[in-house]
Copies of this chain bind each other. A is one copy, B any other.
């Protein structure tokens, strides 16, 4: 996968609600849940997607808040693949958050 340029990243971020650029090579989003176990169920679903894509985000769980951080190590920055992963996580969140 080809590393995206800064303008390309900016354009992608405009479409990716809640995602923020961090350290110019990560995209990051915080997902909030009503309870701790809902956060854990979300992480389980994220993990299945990550395995299927063979693209593993950094995940942290701070009680009812899950933070996902994505980068493409092989490209040394952000690629289209990071944004398609992000979109999959958003879709799972929409289904599981209630």
Contact = CB atoms under 8 A, between A and B. Distances in A.
Chain B CB count within 10 A is highest, among A37, A44, A56, A59, for: A59
B51 A62 contact: no
Contacts of A44: 40, 44
B40 A56 contact: no
A9 to B, nearest CB: 23
A51 B39 CA distance: 12
Interface of A: 36-37, 40, 43-44, 47, 50-51, 56, 58-63
8 contacts: A36-B47, A36-B56, A37-B47, A40-B43, A40-B44, A44-B44, A56-B63, A60-B60
